[in-house]
Amino acid sequence: MLISVAINVQNLYDLGARRIGVTTLPPTGCLPAAITLFGRGTNKCVAKLNKDAISFNKKLNRTSQKLKSKLPGIKLVVFDIYQPLFDLITKPAESGFFESRKACCGTGTLETSFLCNARSIGTCSNATNYVFWDGFHPSQSANEKLAQSLLEQGFDLIS
């Protein structure tokens, strides 16, 4: 049971909300910044961080089941961001991407820059095929793919 999530949902419910969506954690260990910082030069997703995210997401799911049985009339959807993003990162070509390790901004050695904009040095000329815009954030084109998946998952909320 994730107490903070349960309290937040309960509060929203008490305020009258009946359609509530919460999102899971992403595969934290696959973010370019995480690989650069903790990947020990392997270029692979950091297994420990992904394991922690999966464990959190399972708890989130159980918490959501409990809340659903406790709060009459609630429509509560857990949007899974982990799997669709993990798929984009591990099988980028299947969705038309070619780069999921390097971010568009800061391509090269340091992918942790928070000074990313179209004119910063090292920003790629076209982010369309990059899964990541910077070390932490999916690119706009990746977000569009993720949004499609979330829309399908959220059908319960609008029906």
Ligand X SMILES: *[C@@H]1O[C@H](CO)[C@@H](O)[C@H](O)[C@H]1NC(C)=O
Residues that bind ligand X (CB under 6 A): 24, 57, 61, 78, 80, 126, 128-129
Closer CB to ligand X, 37 or 118, in the complex:
118
Closer CB to ligand X, 54 or 71, in the complex:
54
Closer CB to ligand X, 24 or 100, in the complex:
24
Please report the sign of the dihedral spanned by the C-alpha atoms of residue 75, residue 76, residue 80, residue 81: positive
Residue 42 CB, shortest distance to ligand X, in Å, is 27
Closer CB to ligand X, 19 or 68, in the complex:
68
Which among 91, 102, 110 has a CA at the least distance from the CA of 132?
102
Report residue 61 as tokens.
Answer: 């799911």
Residue 126 CB, shortest distance to ligand X, in Å, is 4
Q: Where are the alpha helices (DSSP H) in 21-138?
A: 32-38, 47-70, 82-90
Quickly list DSSP for 101-135.
Answer: SS-STT-SS----S---TTSTT--S-GGGBSBSSS
Residue 48 CB, shortest distance to ligand X, in Å, is 19
Which among 132, 143, 130, 135 has a CA at the least distance from the CA of 99?
130
Residue 153 CB, shortest distance to ligand X, in Å, is 9
